[in-house]
Amino acid sequence: MLVALLGAALLAGCGGDRSPDSLQGAEVAPPTTATTTTTTPTTTAETTTTTPAAEPGAEQQGPLGAKLERRVGLRNEPDGKIVAMLDTKTRWGSPRVLAVAEQRTGWLGVLTEQQPGKVAWIPGDAAELLLEPWSLRIDLSARRVTVSHEGEVVRRFTVGVGGPGSPTPTGRFGVTDTLRLTGGGPYGCCAIALTARQKDIPQGWTGGDRVAIHGTDSPSSIGRAVSHGCLRTAEDDLRWLLARIPLGSHVEIVA
């Protein structure tokens, strides 16, 4: 899994035999997420624009994200036990936009790193609903990412995946942060952090458990099962993805 340091904070650990110290001194610069009333997503290298959905209670079309507008308790079911508290920003300063998996009256079922692979719940009035036109499907056996926009496939590319002892987790996840790395290192230019977490931590690994899509300084590892759970891809594919995928985009990882 990916290691990226912002000060002393670890994102995750994702290298083959690399140490978490390999990114010491790197800077992480999260892009911003804006909203617009237009229906066409607008992107630059540093800004992704997302379209607001209809008001809660109206019939919603297409995949949705929920941009938190206040600090809120994350619950195991609607009006259930609070399992974590969520701030409006991630630890890297990105707006917290959660992929919405389910809706019930007054409640949104969301995908979070606090409850990876599970649907957890927040009050519907705690977030602004956004349309999420981009989605990713990651096929581990094919070692391929399929990118769709409004349901239409627009790009496919090859990735390296988790090795036999530390397979990449499967399930439904969301994009939490899109990060630019500077200072060099084994993780390339950029990383897209997901809500997935690695359960099978290799013995002795101290780099954390968050899963991400990131670059690599070992291009021969792309297309192979060699990582600690993260997904390694070529820099041109990663930069293309980073310029388009909004926070809160839906990600499905299948075996």
Look at residue 182 in the predicted model and tell me its pLDDT: 79
Residue-wise pLDDT for 146-203, tens only, equals 999 999 999 999 999 999 989 999 999 999 999 998 766 788 899 999 999 988 776 6
Look at residue 98 in the predicted model and tell me its pLDDT: 98
CA-nearest of 197, 192, 205 to 232 is 192
From CA 153, how far away is CA 23, in angstroms rounded? Answer: 34
Q: Would you give the DSSP letter of residue 37?
A: S
User: Mean of the pLDDT values across residues 92-120?
Assistant: 96
Are residues 196 and 172 in contact, defined by beta-carbon separation less than 8 angstroms? no
Whether 36 has a pLDDT exceeding 50, the answer reads no
Number of H helices, E strands in the chain: 1, 22
**Mean pLDDT computed over every residue of the chain:** 81
From CA 210, how far away is CA 91, in angstroms rounded? Answer: 13
161's tokens: 């995946």
- For the whole model, what pTM was predicted? 0.82
> What does 229-255 look like in DSSP terms, one character per residue?
S-EE--HHHHHHHHTT--TT-EEEEE-
User: Mean of the pLDDT values across residues 33-39?
Assistant: 36
Q: What percent of the chain has pLDDT over 70?
A: 72
Look at residue 205 in the predicted model and tell me its pLDDT: 59
From CA 69, how far away is CA 148, in angstroms rounded? Answer: 28
Residue-wise pLDDT for 195-236, tens only, equals 999 887 766 555 668 999 999 989 999 999 999 899 999 999
Residue-wise pLDDT for 53-69, tens only, equals 645 445 456 799 999 99
Look at residue 15 in the predicted model and tell me its pLDDT: 52
From CA 246, how far away is CA 92, in angstroms rounded? Answer: 15
Pick 117 or 109 by higher pLDDT: 109
Are residues 69 and 125 in contact, defined by beta-carbon separation less than 8 angstroms? no
Q: What percent of the chain has pLDDT over 90?
A: 63
From CA 8, how far away is CA 150, in angstroms rounded? Answer: 38
Q: Would you give the DSSP letter of residue 182?
A: E
User: Residue 35: in which H helix or E strand, if any?
Assistant: strand 32-35
Whether 41 has a pLDDT exceeding 50, the answer reads no
